[in-house]
Chain A
Amino acid sequence: MNLLKGRLFSILIPVISVVLALIIGGIVMLASGYQPILAYTSLFEGIFGNSYNIGETVRQMTPLILAGLAVAFAFRAGLFNIGVEGQVLVGWLASVYVGVSFDLPKIIHLPFAIVTAAVAGALWGVIPGFLKARFKVHEVITTIMMNYIALYMTNAIIRAYMLAPGERTKDVKPTASLASDFLQTITDGSRLHYGIIVALICSVIMWFILWKTTMGYELRAVGFNQHASRYAGMNVSKNIILSMAISGAFAGIAGAMEGLGTYGYMMINAAFTGVGFDGIAVSLIGANNAIGIIIGAALFGGLKIGASNMSSVAFVPIELVDIIIALIIFFIASSYIIHWLSNRVNKGGKL
């Protein structure tokens, strides 16, 4: 009983969940006539097997870290930001717009594009934040709707003003690009770019804001107990809006990673990218803290990249990999329920 408590437990949950998910995934593969051992070795090789795969894994991690930070930051302030997806899209478009339209030296152009993406994401987050703070409209509803608005609005803007051949925008100028010949060379031609550095810096920023500043202290207080925060003289509405703004800014930067790094342009998206939704899972796996989120993003990014190898070597359908990812989240989520239940029982015991 005591073993399952505290720090150790919160680290053990994800590890046990991953192992359980892999075991059940293996059983499913066996039942469907695939070879689980071969599949898992090819998955592992697909992630770490060669420098190209490692490069791709890290590239895939980059926006996931930022999306995870965005979800976690809002969550710390007691808000469930499902709108990260939409904030990613507006950030992506904003970064590409700056990248395409301006002629500036790199030292200004690149930061300018990233900051613009952050501002765009922040604004997209502030709207539901304001509605929540002022009119008590639930952020889950508004952020979901804002996702659709973002998806179709960015598509419409690209189509109307920024269209280049191939249903996409022009490439961003080299001065705004995160792409790196050096990183590409050492990873055997992967699309790895400098964005991972931005993501790691943002992780440090999130940790610093939450744990070292009065702003973070207020945000966490509001997240845990709005009533006590109001008693202590904090402005709860301001904190709700602020947390959504910062959350949106992280999400916007995640979009910039795609726009200035991986792709170098923005395409007309037929559907959501999934980065924002994966961010929810990443922040859940990472228990809403910066280091956990980096690990969660690595796991997620790795599985996504390794999946293609799994299907080409072991002929396991890509859908099965998605099922395994879903199982991992499922097990983490349900073990939190167990954790919660055991807490309740303990509390009931003390009386």
Chain B
Amino acid sequence: MDYVIEMRNIRKEFPGIVANDNITLQVKKGEIHALLGENGAGKSTLMNVLFGLYQPEEGEIFVKGKKVTANDPNVANDLGIGMVHQHFMLVEKFTVTENIILGKEPTRGGRVDIKSAANEIKKLSDQYGLSVDPHAKIEDISVGMQQRVEILKTLYRGADILIFDEPTAVLTPQEISELMQIMKKLVREGKSIILITHKLKEIMQVCDRCTVIRRGKGIGTVNVADTDPDKLAAMMVGREVNFKVAKTDSVPKETVLEIKDLVVEDARKVNVVNGLNLEVRAGEIVGIAGVDGNGQTELLEAITGLAKVSSGKIMLNGRDITKLSPRKVTESGLGHIPQDRHKHGLVLNFTIGENMALQTYYQSPYSKAGILNYKTIYEKAKSLIQEFDVRTPSEFTPARALSGGNQQKAIIAREVDRSPDFLIAAQPTRGLDVGAIEFIHSKLIQERDKGKAVLLVSFELDEIMNVSDRIAVIYEGKIVAIVNPKETNEQELGLLMAGGKKEKVGGFQ
């Protein structure tokens, strides 16, 4: 059998851990091959080995039948391997063409020959159905388009093996299905693709075969046609996983959060939240669905007291919190799992114990008259660590040393433990693996069942549909529709998120 890429029995060690342990990856020409594994399973390490960034301790690599030994990243380029990164590497102020030729500029008579480059890019774009305008500026095009520029970049450099690293994390549902089409087209034209992901649905949709890694070990390779999401998930985590979140119907009671005609400006003086109305009642989870950048961040900052409100009103438990400071809002009964856990959720250099006291350190019994009571702080942390199953060597470990999932559990423990009436969960499962996602969803539902109001903001439609009791679609700073998750589907939501109108009247605000 001919493989375009064959990595045999790769072993890569780092001090204290074996990141790759006897992993074999064989990619056939013209297939889409999924590389599936939880976060930290060793997918990125394996790809870095392939790219020559790391030298493996054991194992062999063959590209197109030829043994590769050099440890120079340029070799990968020369062999026709290209990577479409999760975080785009583009210069915002440059045009598409300028970005693509960057570092490999064609010259004529000492000057950069933009014109012929643009023509070539146009040709490539047409060939693969990417419909990218070579003269558009990066800052003016959508995220989905930017990703296509990244794809073009690898094609322009002559890649015939493309690696996609979690490509759908930043896309809308429509953009995702378009990307799937593009990937299929690429393999029809003779390219081979490795798709790094932990989303099972995508694998089922486009991939031919799938290699699973768990905790650094190669678990095996399966034909996608012969398997199903349940089996794949079990291979990935090593046990049965519940996808459908088990929950009863909600029993909403009184209104806890009420937002009226809210307007928030961003730094450029643009009204990013523009007349937004929303209600969250006790005992329900309201999910906010929307494409990134439609005012979600600013809405949350306004509620939590971090951003100034231009006009409108925010009521929590019947109390006006529009102008209160973050601490006063928190004390009025808000719990907040922030979007970016490293930037906003944790002080990474603090210990887990110190982090768990971040909202309560100034209160009794954690401190008295300005003197901290570390004994109580760490005792509390210890019990929270047990209750929320935070995997950490001890409560004295710096937060930095924990995995993403356990950091998130620590934040949730801190916020939920104060038993706030209103809980904001912003992207609570971003970048987490199936096991941690399951845990976090069940915690959110547990809070709901205790009669708390929960506001869930997420870019993952699956999460919104599974966890929410009501879905509020946000578009250009307004809630444009409220839908019942049982009566909607991804297509309808995707359309609403892109500013389309709902066909049935009703549910509008």
Chain A residues close to B by CB (< 8 Å): 1-2, 212-217, 220-221, 224-225, 227-235, 346, 349-351
Contact = CB atoms under 8 A, between A and B. Distances in A.
Q: Identify which of A213, A216, A221, A351 gathers the most chain B CB atoms within 10 Å of its CB.
A: A351
A216 B15 CA distance: 35
B475 interface: no
B372 interface: yes
B372 A217 contact: yes
A78 to B, nearest CB: 11
Contacts of A216: 372
Given A213-B370, A351-B40, A231 B345 contact: yes
A2 B370 contact: no
Given A217-B372, A220-B350, 7 more contacts: A1-B15, A213-B370, A216-B372, A221-B358, A225-B343, A228-B344, A349-B19
A313 B403 CA distance: 59
A224 B15 contact: no
The prevalent SS among residues of A at the interface is helix
Contacts, number: 81
Given A221-B350, A225-B348, A228-B343, A212 B361 contact: no
Given A232-B358, A233-B325, A233-B330, A213 B347 contact: no
Contacts of A215: 370
Contacts of B42: 351
B340 to A, nearest CB: 8
B367 interface: yes
B30 to A, nearest CB: 29
Contacts of B325: 233, 235
A328 to B, nearest CB: 27
B354 interface: yes
B400 to A, nearest CB: 9
A235 B14 CA distance: 41
B344 A231 contact: yes
A344 to B, nearest CB: 13
A200 B466 CA distance: 61
B326 interface: yes
Contact of A213 (B15, B16, B338, B371): B371
A216 B328 CA distance: 21
Interface string B366-388: 01001110000000000000000
A212 B326 CA distance: 24
A234 B305 CA distance: 12
A309 B16 CA distance: 50
B77 interface: no
B372 A233 contact: no
Contacts of B48: 351
A225 B370 contact: no
B14 A217 contact: no
A1 B327 CA distance: 43
Contacts of B345: 228, 231
Given A2-B15, A231-B326, A221 B347 contact: yes
A212 B372 contact: yes
Given A227-B343, A228-B346, A231-B326, A214 B19 contact: no
Interface in B8-30: 14-17, 19
A228 B347 contact: yes
Contacts of A350: 14, 17, 19, 40
B44 A351 contact: yes
A170 to B, nearest CB: 41
Contact of A224 (B14, B336, B348): B348
Given A214-B361, A351-B19, A229 B370 contact: no
